Amino acid sequence: MQSRPAIIAVGRTKFGEHYEKEPEKLIEEAWLKASEKAGIERRDLEAAYLSDYFLPITNKLGLEEGFLSELTEVHVPMEVTRSFSSALLNACNAIQAGRHNVVLVGGIEKMTDRWDKIRDDLMLLEDPWSYYAGCTPEANHELMLRAYIKKYGINGENLEKLNIGLAQISVKNHLHATKNEYAQFQRKITLEQVLSARKRAQKPLGLYDFAPISDGATALILASEEFAKKFTNKPVYILGSSSATDYLTFPAREDMTHFLVSEMAMKKALEMAGISLWDLQIVELYDQSTVMEMISLEDLGFCERGKAWMNIYESCQDYKGYYEVDGRKLFVNMNGGLKADGNPLGATGGAQIFEVFKQLRGEAGERQVKSDRELKYGCVLELEGFGTKGYVYILGRD
């Protein structure tokens, strides 16, 4: 059996606006938190895999690795990719190939420094023609929702339920975040707030349907299975890891109502982990918008195509802390999701892994899920762009 890369510690900053902090200070904070827990020194690190989307643009920092080297006095190999998940995948590959035994995976983003132009920068994640035609970071989410409604012929009372269901996703994520000390928004919101924001915007989705822009950093220490045991008796293993890629141009994709990449990555990750879908109880989804959370439930296979809104709506009528699908419980975005926890792009995936790690180890405190089954497996979906890249990780413990 292939060796399983093991996460031995995780760390993160609070997400939100850190206008007073240098970007490298954020990653330092995340790394210190992780390393302290694991009792690991920076000189134990054999490599670092980092991620950020925008630092060269938002903060005019190139070769971020060099900054980190200066800060840490560490001269090991470092690589920078765009998302935490892509950094983690490289780290997994290195560990599994036997190249390294212990590495740092870190993600960082500082978006609020350029609040005046960040929405234009976000368009770098979409195709230029859409941008030139007037697309915004929100528009494709709304178009996807329109396409979904049309494809499944949802109207009348059902359309009402779908719209409320989507709003409840946001309400639910905010509720979860009240128990997350690191979350950007640790406050409840009401269904009325979500709906009236939509009304103000005069469109299908409003302010509360979208994740915010955020600053923040996340880090984890990944080690080979053997090596992990020296540091912890509770490692969390990466049992499945996979990614897929689709066209940058959303309108050119064959099906505008789901993300091919999520579906493909999930299929492979499950195969790799050798578990079945419903062995998973806890899932961190990439809810850049409420639509993305709904679609992802279908893409990953938890809900039937065209039906997720119904499961969500029904589960949220009297929300018990999980979605119920055919009598089965699914704990989704326990940290508050991107919506309430925050979405500092390059660091976001780290917060998702952080959550599943904590939950699987039973260290999630107030937000620890109460499951009638033993909590053994969790899953993370991270996307880059509007479904252009998808990464799925399946985490598990012994």
Partner 1 sequence: MSSEPIERRVSYLGDRLRGRRCQICGKEYFEIKDYCGNCGRKSFGKMVDMDLFYEKGKLEVCTFVNEPTNKFTKLGSYIYGIVSFHNGKIRVPGRLTDRIMKDNGETDFSALEGRYVVPRFRRRHSVDRRDVIPTISLAFTFADEYYPHQEYTVVKPNKEYDVPGIVGYGVYTSKFRIREGNIERSVPYIDEDAITAAVEAGKLALIHSGVDSSLVGKIYVGSESNPYAVKPIASKVAQVLKLGEEDEDMQGVDAVDAEFACKAATSMFKDAASLVNYPKSNIQYAMVIGTDNSQAAPRDCPGGELDLFVGFGGCAYIFGKHDVIAEIEGWYSCTSDTPDFWRRDGEPYPMHGGRFTGDPAYFKHIRKAAKKMIERLNLQVGDINYFVAHQPNVQFPVKIAKELGFKEEQYLPSLQVAKFGNTYSGSSPVGLAAVLDIAKPDERILIVSYGSGAGSDAYLLITTSQILDKRQRQKLTVKYQAENSFLEYVDYTTYRRLKLGM
Instruction: List residues near partner 1 by CB under 8 A.
Output: 116-117, 119-120, 123, 127-139, 142-143, 146-147, 150, 201-204, 248-252, 256
User: At its nearest, how many Å lie between partner 1 and the CB of residue 162?
Assistant: 14
Which CB atom, from 135 or from 239, has the smaller least distance to partner 1? 135
Q: How far, in Å, CA of 131 to CA of 5, rounded? A: 40
User: At its nearest, how many Å lie between partner 1 and the CB of residue 264?
Assistant: 17
User: At its nearest, how many Å lie between partner 1 and the CB of residue 164?
Assistant: 17
Which CB atom, from 67 or from 131, has the smaller least distance to partner 1? 131
User: At its nearest, how many Å lie between partner 1 and the CB of residue 163?
Assistant: 12
8 Å CB contact between 313 and 164: yes
User: At its nearest, how many Å lie between partner 1 and the CB of residue 306?
Assistant: 16
User: At its nearest, how many Å lie between partner 1 and the CB of residue 161?
Assistant: 17
Which CB atom, from 75 or from 132, has the smaller least distance to partner 1? 132
Which CB atom, from 161 or from 234, has the smaller least distance to partner 1? 161
User: At its nearest, how many Å lie between partner 1 and the CB of residue 386?
Assistant: 12
Which CB atom, from 32 or from 252, has the smaller least distance to partner 1? 252
Which CB atom, from 218 or from 257, has the smaller least distance to partner 1? 257
Which CB atom, from 45 or from 213, has the smaller least distance to partner 1? 213
